[in-house]
Amino acid sequence: MIRYLIGALILTFLAFLPFHLVRSPEGGKVKLIRVSPEDFQPVAGKHGGTLYFALSSDPKTLNPALAQETSSTAVIGDLFSGLTRLNLKTMEYEPDLALRWEVSQDGRVWTFYLRKDVRWSDGTPFTADDVVFTFNEVYYNESIPSSTGDILKVKGKKIKVEKIDDYTVRFTLPEPFAPFLGALTASILPKHKLQKHVREGTFNTAWNVNTDPKEIVGTGPWILEEYVKGQRVVYRPNPYYYRKDEFGNKLPYIKRKVGLIVGDPDTAILKFLNGEVDYVGLRPQDLRQMVGKENEGIKIYDLGSTPSTTFIVFNQNPNAKIPKYKLKWFQNRTFRVAISHAIDREGICNIVYEGFAKPLYGPITEANRPYYSEDLFPPYEYNLKKARTLLESIGFKDRDGDGILEDPEGHDLRFTLITNAGNKEREAIGNIVSADLKKIGVDVIFKPIDFNSLVSRLTSPPYEWEAVLIGLTGTLDPHFGRNVWHSSGVLHMWNPRQKKPATEWEAELDRLIDLGSSEMDPKKRVEIYRRAFRIIHREQPMIFIATPKEILAVKDKFGNLFPTVWGWYREEALFIK
């Protein structure tokens, strides 16, 4: 998903074990390595070499302020930096573009002192003007649909951002804001390149996929050298990147990166086994192809349950281009609960993920410690009889005997369920769900479509979709999912960008989400967000299905390889041995 989904508090991280063995579907054994973050100790690397990897699809935009999907952020994430960044070893925030900061006693005034050795990738000096421009003219610009703007507000109020001098910026908060340092991981943008687009009203089309890569200017470790649609993305090191290793050597060590655009996961696995890419995420069914591969220079990591969630959402937007009678169904909690009872989560985990997933009934997974607990979300049992009974309780009946229920007005209970084509797991889940719903008289037209087309339908008018099977990458700090949970959020999928909460439960959810952002006591904060998540579980606007384990296969050719479910630690220090 989006860059803002990587923020975190200084909280307990995942438990890690040495390694374990699992049987592949063919009866062989695959050694799965588990890593221990406390053992992450980068060593001096050497410069040179090319890293090859697979991208699942073309980006939708090259503008980080507009990116709302992983297809874009996977391409541009390494081009930019924030004032802070998350240390995946300590799980604490550390300076990035900032050198240090001071905070007032009341927690409302933060003064950031910026690095003086930073230049944009075109050689232009980085200053406080870029920071002030990024926040005041982009993220807080109501005419720019940036998800980042949602998480940079405290209870809906903007933070005052002002320049003190060329290398000092002051942030004045309306009240204490617990996830503030995490929010400042947001990409800082170049004023000298983008201000003209803001003032001319063309920012929303600036840095699109047809833009010359030379125009994309950042402060991150990499520069975009070439983008060929449907084929590849090529990177070279940013010659002005400011980070060095402990011995004074410039980073990154690797001199070239090539991302091959491979829409089909099966093809990505094949390219990995053929040596065309250096690492690849594995699905459980891919493990059968990895038996014995450790003898061929391949390491396979089990990183544990991911924060990722897979779910079904029904369109409850009164302004959406869908029939009003279907809107009435989707807005009915009993209807949604009935559908939830018809989802065979255990079966999906076993069949689709071959046991490498866990059933999910709420919006966070066990990777989200300390917010998650085993008893937080009581299961919605798989019970087709109960599901049908619930539908009949709100007036659905098979009045004409054709096997499909009709609503009280005589409309067949039929809707279209979309997902992104090429995602084998979601396509398999969609087929299972469709088959089970048919057993209780619900006719589902399951239709996989292009991912970027799907995102457009979800996030922009006329919101022409009925139901969607999709996922989110998850967040460590719940506030960085504010644009999903808050009724005003652009990713509040079932009814986005509400001027006023449409329901009482959404109003209470808004209140809790905002309250959690300003509560500085960690224990109280955890309980506030748990109350918010229980509302999501009760109302079922998102019918959560499963969360998979993250399994990573890597060619044994790298030094300083430190993977976690939240990303790679010190990725710029990766080198080819």
Write the pLDDT tens digit of every residue in 180-191: 999 999 999 999
Note the pLDDT tens digit of each residue in 391-413: 999 999 999 999 999 999 999 99
Report the pLDDT value the prediction gives residue 16, as an integer from 0 to 100.
Answer: 24
In a domain, 183, yes or no: no
In a domain, 78, yes or no: no
What CATH number has the domain bearing residue 493? Answer: 3.10.105.10
Confidence of residue 422 (pLDDT cuts 50, 70, 90): confident
Report the pLDDT value the prediction gives residue 28, as an integer from 0 to 100.
Answer: 53
In a domain, 299, yes or no: no
- In the predicted model, what is the mean pLDDT of residues 160-187? 95
Pick the most confident of 78-82, 368-372, 472-476. Answer: 78-82
In a domain, 416, yes or no: yes
Report the pLDDT value the prediction gives residue 437, as an integer from 0 to 100.
Answer: 98
In a domain, 298, yes or no: no
Report the pLDDT value the prediction gives residue 5, as an integer from 0 to 100.
Answer: 35
CB–CB of 111/101 below 8 Å? yes
In a domain, 364, yes or no: yes
> What is the span of the domain harbouring residue 381?
309-549
Report the alpha-carbon angle 175-177-179, nearest 5: 170
Sign of CA dihedral 456, 457, 458, 459: positive
Locate 166 and state its tokens. 């060329």
Report the pLDDT value the prediction gives residue 34, as an integer from 0 to 100.
Answer: 87
Q: How many domains does the chain have?
A: 1
Residue corresponding to tokens 């504010």 = 482
Question: What is residue 92's three-state secondary structure?
Answer: strand
Helical axes 384-393 vs 333-341, angle rounded to 10°: 160
In a domain, 120, yes or no: no
Confidence of residue 35 (pLDDT cuts 50, 70, 90): confident
Nearest Cα to 242, choosing from 387, 433, 97? 97
Q: How far apart, in whole angstroms, are the C-alpha atoms of residue 156 and residue 269?
A: 44
In a domain, 221, yes or no: no
Q: How far apart, in whole angstroms, are the C-alpha atoms of residue 110 and residue 170?
A: 6
Report the pLDDT value the prediction gives residue 279, as an integer from 0 to 100.
Answer: 97
Note the pLDDT tens digit of each residue in 491-528: 999 999 999 999 999 999 999 999 998 898 889 999 99
Say whether pLDDT at 14 is over 50: no
Peptide bond between residue 145 and the one before it cis (omega within 30 degrees of 0): no
Residue corresponding to tokens 């509560």 = 519
Report the pLDDT value the prediction gives residue 473, as an integer from 0 to 100.
Answer: 84
- In the predicted model, what is the mean pLDDT of residues 81-86? 96
Q: How far apart, in whole angstroms, are the C-alpha atoms of residue 197 and residue 158?
A: 22
Query: Does the predicted TM-score (pTM) go above 0.85?
Result: no
